[in-house]
Chains A and B, each alone.
Chain A
């Protein structure tokens, strides 16, 4: 038989085919020249294990072994090591050799080197195997479609995502994966169109439906498949289930939105320090459509003095009818900012009913049965529902607030609770979700801090006001002091000058008088000397005025007295001058007014001065009106003339020393009056109208006067 092999092998060796005869013991019985030549380096092959010449994998061994038990001719492709240790692909044909009825003792192996094209095809095959493995096991759904869009393949990923087995879907169109609404919108056709136009649609986010009708969010990539002739041969479609990622993204987006909303409201509530405004803004934020969207909100603040939670403020409709009105008036387009601004302008104009309701509620905080107190004391929030309410206390509260549910959220400040916020959806009956509460708590925290801030700010402002008032008082008295010092300074210099002048003036005047006495009545110098005498007298009088202003009578003789007597007495002194100047006198003097403590002589000087001023203001004829009455705990005396009046630009100057509009006089009359009055802690005002007259008002306060009499002087 070996000869036969020889012959055959000689023939086939021309084709570079190796021939091996392998026994059951896996040893090489025989090899043709081609093999022998090829593996010369390995020495004599005969008798050696066949794996010397081939890298036999398990598959190869199995095939060889099985060849001994069946008559089948088997083929495998195997990588071979060449002499140069290069891998060559070979096709191996296993031919069992059977002689008669005996069992197979040898297998003939024909080893054929694969041609290049055969090799490439093999590689592609391997690659395909690899790829189909990849495709098969991918977690994404990978589906191939034919030109008509019918499913050709359906991988494990698709089975997992859509819950259909491959055999359920092969040959069907993809439509069963689309939600009905998207089919109605024409999405399947639209995708086809896009793919035909652009060769592909990539990562298109849409919705798909699983076998159990679960909606998933899917990212779809469909690609047009073409052959070398550019003919469409089908489509591949990859569908990724991005539902979870989307959900997280969605939640994140919501959270960010909510937070920015919260931030917006917080910004607003921190922008004001007016507590009422703040509370209103806060409640608006809770109820506004762009805010937390609760129907109503109630605010209870802790009253530290009374140890109670007091209903302070509320917002929202008190019943459904009102709700309709309010909501339709609000409109929908307004942003949160607009609504909050709008509210700022309309504080207290709305929600009066509900405010009344809440402001009637006061709860002792030691009452731990009360759910509001419980929230206040423990810092926890509670959802209260009528069906689940266990006690009368809570049921009553529900009734009072006219709702069947609410959430109570504690308002926690820096250290302690400052109150509670109660929200409900009494009108819309919308359920309140646990997630909303987290955010509400955050908001409540912000609000509490804002309320505390505002309270702090208000108390600081109050103190600041007191302080600035005190400062103002201080500044005023300082001004007065400076003025007094200035006058004292001026006074000291003036007094010095006055006295220095007085001595020489006295001797000038004295000697001139002696000369005058010695002159005869017809002396030509008599007139001149008289003038000197008069002028010296005038100078001395001026000096006396100055000196008495600077250093007025220092010992006041203050007594309890009736101003009317003083007024009457001085009017009598003036009566002659009045009639000389054709002045009519009108008196309105109330009797029985409280008595005052004053120096009669000094006040008389004041009155005389005012009367004389009045006469001068009226020049010839006029009316002088004197009034005395009680007003604002003060006795007031008015001296009114019907004279020419004082121009507005100089009215403030009339009390300044040395200010005068008269051709005669030093301008000390009114300053002396003012000084006398201020020594008494009395005061003087002036009002004047040009060509109508001037009114001087003397104010004699009752406090500061009679009571302090013993402290004075």
Chain B
């Protein structure tokens, strides 16, 4: 079963993604901010990380850098309410950039795409 780390500071959205992706058959780990995410990456070595950008403590951009420092092979999908971070070159290290939406179709298809690859 593929391991999925969802980094999201909004509790409700975290719950939503947990439900949806568990339902789709992934093993889901949750983190509310960057530091927490780094711990999980170390312990669980997830296959893929869904990363919010705007977060308290360590933000997504910072977290992506740290994660890729530890493990270059982890696929990261940025899932942000902001399109503006597309320009940040750190974002280019992510496999995809999905703008947050209540419709999870795009996000799900990207996850599927990179886990299978």
| A contacts, CB < 8 Å to B | 499, 502-514, 533, 536-537, 540, 544, 547-548, 551, 554-555
Contact = CB atoms under 8 A, between A and B. Distances in A.
Contact of A513 (B10, B81, B84, B103): B103
Interface of B: 10, 12-13, 15-17, 19-20, 54, 81-84, 87, 99-104
B111 to A, nearest CB: 15
A544 B106 CA distance: 15
B101 A540 contact: yes
Given A512-B102, A514-B19, A554-B87, A504 B81 contact: no
Contacts, number: 58
A513 B102 CA distance: 8
B30 to A, nearest CB: 14
Contacts of A512: 102
B87 A506 contact: no
Contacts of B83: 547-548, 551
A618 B61 CA distance: 48
Q: Could you say which of B19, B83, B84, B99 has the most chain A C-beta atoms within 10 Å of its C-beta?
A: B83
A213 to B, nearest CB: 115
B102 A510 contact: yes
A701 to B, nearest CB: 28
A506 B19 contact: no
Contacts of B99: 544
Nearest to B105: A513
Nearest to A533: B102
Majority SS of interface residues in chain A? Answer: helix
Contacts of B100: 502-503, 506
B103 A502 contact: no
8 contacts: A506-B16, A506-B100, A506-B101, A507-B16, A511-B16, A512-B102, A513-B104, A548-B83
A508 to B, nearest CB: 7
Nearest to A513: B102
B13 A503 contact: yes
Nearest to B16: A510
Nearest to A550: B84
Contacts of A504: 10, 12
Nearest to B100: A506
Shortest beta-carbon contacts, A-B, top 10: A509-B102, A507-B12, A502-B81, A510-B16, A499-B81, A506-B100, A507-B13, A510-B102, A506-B102, A536-B102
Nearest to B14: A507
A18 B87 CA distance: 155
Q: Could you say which of A503, A533, A540, A555 has the most chain B C-beta atoms within 10 Å of its C-beta?
A: A503
Nearest to B84: A551
Contacts of B13: 503, 506-507, 510
Contacts of A555: 87
Contacts of A499: 54, 81-82
B24 to A, nearest CB: 12
B102 to A, nearest CB: 2
Contacts of A510: 13, 16-17, 20, 102, 104
A503 B8 CA distance: 10
B28 to A, nearest CB: 15
Contacts of A533: 102
A503 B81 contact: yes
Contacts of B84: 551
Nearest to A532: B102
Given A514-B20, A554-B87, A555-B87, A507 B10 contact: yes
A538 to B, nearest CB: 11
A689 to B, nearest CB: 39
Contacts of B101: 506, 509, 540
B68 to A, nearest CB: 23
Nearest to A536: B102
Contact of B16 (A502, A514, A537): A514
Given A503-B13, A510-B13, A514-B20, A540 B102 contact: yes
Q: Could you say which of B15, B20, B101, B104 has the most chain A C-beta atoms within 10 Å of its C-beta?
A: B101
B36 to A, nearest CB: 19
A361 B67 CA distance: 92
